[in-house]
């Protein structure tokens, strides 16, 4: 994730003043070298990911505005830890995982207010449009891309709090902090955004520190319980895979091959050959590390690609998109799509833009 942190102001040159959700004076940058300087400083302070400008705005007037509100967590957060950050920028940003050990011990909730974001975890891409969101373990995120002309909010939920709430929510069922499905649908994303911004206001209002921490803690509980109640959990095999040894290189080769050839006809033998393993070894690795077969993984990748196409291209009929991504039967494609994303392909197309 972007990982907004408070840094010394590098310039006071003001970009156009867009609307803000946090009542915090933002750091404003508009020169390319100042923006790159800020990202370099952020990479040093928060080395979990390498953040870089993927492409500048085609309009030629680039700008960046970022602000942050710190934790007031009674459970012991450090005073320099960020609770909620807000970013607004004109250019595409890409973040690639660099040092998972440097990730915060927290869930990160990313909410694009405008624009869109893409998060890739274990080779699977999750797309969030404006009004939607994602919830992730930052140590497991391979890559994040934020579109230009974006207004983006992210906040952090301490893992220790989620572990405590999960234990109370389902006693004796889940001994580990829950692992959620990454995509947040719009209704839940908007509720979380409202609660997070309300909690952030408490941290900036005058009042006794102990009372402020107590109120803030209650907001954290409300957000955590809201997620436990509404957000689906990843399947049990995903929770196991987070605790076992890193995936072998051959599995990564197989995953890369599937992503590169998702639009072609490929079989088990093709994937195994690309991974330099036998078919039986390939099946064991997918089941052991990803909890699914190579074909199930390929199906999810194709559904994600079809969804991206439906969001970006209004010209092709749904049946043509289905055929392009390996689904010969439009009705089966619709059922699989609805099961994966909670909406029909036609609904995705209606909501685009």
Q: Is residue 12 part of a domain?
A: no
Q: Is residue 344 part of a domain?
A: yes
pLDDT digits (tens, 9 = 90+) for 143-156: 999 988 889 999 99
- Report the residue count for the chain: 353
Mean pLDDT, to the nearest integer, of 232-256? 65
Q: Is residue 22 part of a domain?
A: no
**Where does a domain end: 209, 237, 265?**
237
d(CA 149, CA 238) in angstroms, rounded, equals 34
- In CATH, what number is assigned to the domain containing residue 269? 1.10.10.60
Q: Domain limits at 286?
A: 245-351
Q: Are residues 137 and 160 in the same domain?
A: yes
pLDDT tier at 316 (50, 70, 90 boundaries)? confident
d(CA 299, CA 284) in angstroms, rounded, equals 18
pLDDT confidence of residue 122: 77
Q: Yes or no: say if 136 and 1 are a contact pair by the CB < 8 Å rule.
A: yes
**Where does a domain end: 170, 202, 237?**
237
pLDDT confidence of residue 74: 41
d(CA 221, CA 304) in angstroms, rounded, equals 32
pLDDT confidence of residue 336: 86
pLDDT confidence of residue 273: 94
What rounded mean pLDDT belongs to the chain?
82
What is the full DSSP assignment across 56-100?
--TTS---EEEEEEE---TTT--TT-EEEEEEEESSEEEEEE--G
Looking up tokens 């459970």 gives: 75
pLDDT confidence of residue 176: 63
Give residues with Cβ within 8 angstroms of 17, minimum separation 6: none
Q: Are residues 88 and 223 in the same domain?
A: yes
Q: Is residue 2 part of a domain?
A: no
Bridge partners of residue 115, in order along the sequence: none
pLDDT confidence of residue 9: 45
pLDDT at 206 over 90: no
Number of Cα atoms under 13 Å in the Cβ half of residue 294: 29
Mean pLDDT, to the nearest integer, of 259-275? 92
Sign of the torsion formed by the C-alpha atoms of 322, 188, 81 and 148: positive
Q: Is residue 288 part of a domain?
A: yes
Rg (CA), the chain: 21
Angle at the Cα of 184 (from 100 to 136), degrees rounded to 5? Answer: 10
SS3 content of the chain, % helix, strand, coil (to 5): 45, 20, 35
What is the full DSSP assignment across 177-225?
---B-SEEPHHHHHHHHHHHHHHHHHHHS-S-HHHHHHHHHHHHHHHHH
Q: Are residues 34 and 171 in the same domain?
A: yes
pLDDT tier at 162 (50, 70, 90 boundaries)? confident
> To the nearest whole percent, how much of the chain has pLDDT over 90?
34
How far apart, in Å, do the first and last CA atoms of the chain sit?
23
Of 9-13, 133-137, 230-234, the one with minimum mean pLDDT is: 9-13
pLDDT confidence of residue 36: 93
Question: Is residue 149 left, alpha or beta, with left meaning phi > 0 and alpha meaning psi from -120 to 50?
Answer: left
Of 64-68, 227-231, 247-251, 260-264, the one with minimum mean pLDDT is: 247-251
pLDDT confidence of residue 18: 56
Q: Are residues 49 and 128 in the same domain?
A: yes
Q: Are residues 45 and 156 in the same domain?
A: yes
Q: Are residues 231 and 250 in the same domain?
A: no
pLDDT digits (tens, 9 = 90+) for 112-140: 999 999 999 877 889 999 999 999 988 88
User: Which residue from 240, 335, 329, 352 is spatially nearest to 287, judged by alpha carbons?
Assistant: 240
Q: Is residue 3 part of a domain?
A: no
DSSP type of residue 9: -
Q: Yes or no: say if 131 and 115 are a contact pair by the CB < 8 Å rule.
A: no
User: Which residue from 159, 164, 123 is spatially nearest to 141, judged by alpha carbons?
Assistant: 123
pLDDT tier at 76 (50, 70, 90 boundaries)? very low
Q: Are residues 191 and 138 in the same domain?
A: yes
pLDDT at 319 over 60: yes
pLDDT at 7 over 60: no
Q: Are residues 190 and 53 in the same domain?
A: yes
**Where does a domain end: 237, 256, 280?**
237
Of 152-161, 231-240, 258-267, the one with minimum mean pLDDT is: 231-240
Q: Yes or no: say if 23 and 5 are a contact pair by the CB < 8 Å rule.
A: no
**φ, ψ for residue 31, nearest 5 deg:** -85, 140
Overall number of domains in the chain: 2
- Of 195 and 288, which is predicted with more confidence? 195
Q: Are residues 300 and 318 in the same domain?
A: yes
pLDDT confidence of residue 79: 39
Q: Are residues 251 and 233 in the same domain?
A: no
Q: Structure tokens of 278?
A: 């036998």
Q: Is residue 20 part of a domain?
A: no
DSSP type of residue 101: G
pLDDT confidence of residue 3: 58
Mean pLDDT, to the nearest integer, of 292-299? 86
Prediction pTM value: 0.64
Q: Are residues 227 and 255 in the same domain?
A: no
Q: Are residues 213 and 294 in the same domain?
A: no
Q: How does strand 64-70 pair with strand 82-89?
A: antiparallel
Helix (H, G, I), strand (E, B) or coil at 1: coil
Bridge partners of residue 65, in order along the sequence: 28, 88
pLDDT confidence of residue 221: 92
Q: Is residue 14 part of a domain?
A: no
pLDDT at 175 over 60: no
């Amino acid at each position: 994730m972007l990982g907004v942190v408070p840094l010394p102001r590098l310039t006071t040159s003001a970009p156009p003043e867009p609307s803000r959700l946090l009542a915090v004076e933002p750091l404003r940058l508009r020169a390319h070298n100042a923006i790159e300087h800020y990202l370099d400083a952020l990479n040093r302070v928060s080395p979990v990911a390498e953040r870089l400008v993927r492409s500048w705005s085609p309009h030629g007037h680039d700008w960046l505005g970022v602000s942050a509100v710190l934790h007031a967590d009674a459970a012991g957060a450090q005073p320099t830890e960020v609770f909620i950050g807000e970013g607004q920028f004109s250019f595409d940003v890409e973040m690639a995982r660099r040092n998972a050990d440097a990730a915060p011990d927290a869930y990160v909730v990313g909410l694009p207010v405008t624009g869109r974001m893409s998060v890739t975890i274990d080779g699977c891409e999750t797309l969030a449009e404006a009004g939607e969101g994602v919830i992730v373990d930052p140590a497991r995120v391979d890559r994040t891309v934020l579109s230009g002309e974006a207004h983006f909010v992210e906040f952090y939920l301490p893992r220790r709090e989620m572990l405590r709430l999960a234990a109370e929510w389902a006693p004796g069922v889940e001994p580990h902090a829950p692992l959620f499905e990454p995509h947040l649908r719009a209704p839940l994303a908007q509720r979380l955004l409202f609660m997070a911004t309300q909690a952030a206001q408490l941290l900036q209002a005058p009042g006794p520190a102990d009372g402020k921490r107590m109120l803030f803690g209650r907001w954290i509980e409300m957000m955590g319980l809201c997620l436990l109640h509404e957000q689906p959990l990843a399947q049990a095999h995903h929770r196991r895979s987070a605790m076992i040894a890193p995936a072998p290189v051959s599995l990564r080769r197989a995953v890369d091959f599937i992503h590169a050839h998702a639009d072609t006809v490929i079989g088990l033998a093709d994937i195994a050959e690309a991974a330099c393993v036998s078919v039986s070894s390939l099946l064991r690795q997918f089941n052991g590390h990803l909890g699914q077969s190579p074909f199930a993984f390929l199906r999810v990748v194709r559904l994600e690609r079809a969804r991206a196409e439906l969001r970006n291209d209004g010209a092709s009929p749904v049946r043509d998109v289905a055929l392009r991504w390996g689904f010969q039967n439009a009705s089966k494609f619709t059922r699989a799509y609805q099961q994966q994303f909670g909406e029909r392909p036609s609904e995705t197309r209606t909501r685009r833009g």
